[in-house]
Amino acid sequence: MKDDDFGPLEPTPQAWLDWTSAKQALASDPARSAWVSANAGSGKTHVLTQRVIRLLLSGCRPSAILCLTYTKAAASEMSNRVFERLAEWVTLDDDALDDRIAAIEGERPDLLKRQEARRLFARALETPGGLKIQTIHAFCEALLHQFPLEANVAGHFSVLDDRASATLLADARRALLTATASEDDLELTEAFATVLELADDTGLEKLLSAIVAHRTPIQLFLDAAAHQGGIDPALRLALGLDSDETTQTALAGFWPLKGLNGAAVERYIGMALSAGGAKVTEVCRRLARGRKTDRPAAAL
């Protein structure tokens, strides 16, 4: 919906309020699919609350409505607002209630609709499996509990909170490290030695955390690698390396660098050394050293 669908706006507060309310009415119309994005405090929760109420007013079963939020605070705010509004409708006099409904729906209700509106509070509370306003996490957890077989999870699982999971991971890490100290598992011991050689023990910590954080893609890679003849062939395939490529052949492929030993570089080094600052001088020294060596890895 474009802003100019409403024609030019008078620069008055009332005009802006009317414009906002008209847009909110469109977005809360249950017959439309709507995507709302707006600044904090501009009325998003208001629109969502209104949409739920209009769904209920139009005869929708409370148990057929699902509202998902990201935080628990947002879920309880939504729930409070819906129930506050419906609770108020139980006790309002007819005229006032008709006004409220007209403000939401754009027309005054007939007798039947007014009576129905008064009963909404009780219906929303009493329907088994009532109105569902919950976080997306709670919803997913409930789904997994309902379909453990399909999801391939243990039937009576519970979800760890962040602190418990950090404790368990730390325990597992400690168990892993002490197990390798006993040198029962030669391959694992060697793997640890390699990592410690490349990085110190904080590097090992970081590596283990990264593995845990990316365990799903890593597992997928390992499964795929098993079909491609192992990790080494799988990595070579992914990186476009021949099966007989080694560090030496790769280096030999581009070393000596074309032109590195030419007169132009020679002249540049001379000029830079006489005119340059500390950084330039350092780079030139290295360049000069690289020109002399015949060991590509060291030169690189």
CB atoms inside a 10 Å sphere around CB 234: 17
Task: Figure out which of the listed residues 1, 10, 16, 21 binds ligand ADP, where binding follows CB under 6 A.
Answer: 21
* CB of 103 vs ligand ADP, minimal distance in Å: 9
24 binds, among ligand ADP, Mg ion, none (CB under 5 to 8 A by kind): ligand ADP
Residue 7 engages ligand ADP in binding (rule: CB under 6 A): no
Residue 46 engages ligand ADP in binding (rule: CB under 6 A): yes
* CB of 200 vs ligand ADP, minimal distance in Å: 47
* CB of 148 vs Mg ion, minimal distance in Å: 34
**Residues between 10 and 49 that touch Mg ion (CB under 5 A):** 45
**Residues between 26 and 45 that touch ligand ADP (CB under 6 A):** 38, 40-45
* CB of 52 vs Mg ion, minimal distance in Å: 14
Which CB, 24 or 79, lies closer to ligand ADP? Answer: 24
Residue range at the interface with ligand ADP (CB under 6 A); choices 17-25, 59-67, 140-148, 214-222: 17-25
Residue 236 engages ligand ADP in binding (rule: CB under 6 A): no
* CB of 17 vs ligand ADP, minimal distance in Å: 7
Backbone conformation region of residue 229, classed left if phi is above 0, alpha if psi is from -120 to 50, else beta: left
* CB of 87 vs ligand ADP, minimal distance in Å: 16
**Residues between 141 and 200 that touch ligand ADP (CB under 6 A):** none
Residue ranges binding ligand ADP (CB under 6 A): 20-21, 24, 38, 40-46
Residue ranges binding Mg ion (CB under 5 A): 45
